[in-house]
Amino acid sequence: MPRSGYDSALVAVVGLLVGAVIWTVADVAYDDPAAGRAQPGPVCPHEGIRVTAGPVNPAMGLRAMDLTLENCGTRAYRVQGYPEIRLLDRDQRHVTGVSVLHGSAGIATVGGFDEPPNAVTPAPGERASAGLLWRNTTGFGGAAHVPYLTVEARSGALPVLLSPDGGLDLGTTGRLGVGPWRSSTTTSTSTSTTGSGGGTP
């Protein structure tokens, strides 16, 4: 083979290998807990669920936001209790000085927040939801603004990194209430199940 032809073939082979490596890294970063946090998207993650944040509902200093768990997999997915929430700043470092508490945490009386949690098992295409509750009132000290949070649907689940529109304006109250998972009557219209579609029977 002429030298120029050999060089062209070598470049083509190296290009294919580099492309394969890039694809593999991207795939692992999406699904592997050791590689990072899952990102919500059109492809169903390996665990078989998507978790998304709804819009913030403001009312006279009181704030509320829903988290939605969509079963995009092929098997039922069981959750019980409360989603595990971790608050992050703009550099995605842990926010200190804010207590994440189960229930309404004395922030306000809101239906469903202080009811005992029950097991919820969305079938494929079904959803569950949980609420976040806080006040953005301010007093002494610096006000906390949280642009990111991670959500674990259940203990040991892959954390999903969320960026709610406008972030969480927690003021100086230092408290965030988390409601339990509840069944949702809304059935998903998106049935993409690309991926392994994990779940718990």
pLDDT tens per residue, range 11-62: 443 343 333 332 222 222 233 333 345 555 568 998 999 999 999 887 767 8
pLDDT tens per residue, range 84-109: 999 999 999 999 999 999 999 889 88
Contact residues for 178 (Cβ-Cβ < 8 A; gap 6+) = 82, 83, 85, 100, 101, 102, 103, 130, 131, 132, 133
Domain ranges of the chain: 1-36, 49-183
pLDDT score recorded for residue 16: 36
Q: Furthest-apart CA pair in the chain: how many Å?
A: 80
Taking a C-beta distance cutoff of 8 angstroms, is the pair 155, 149 a contact?
Answer: no
pLDDT score recorded for residue 2: 52
Which CATH number is associated with domain 49-183? 2.60.40
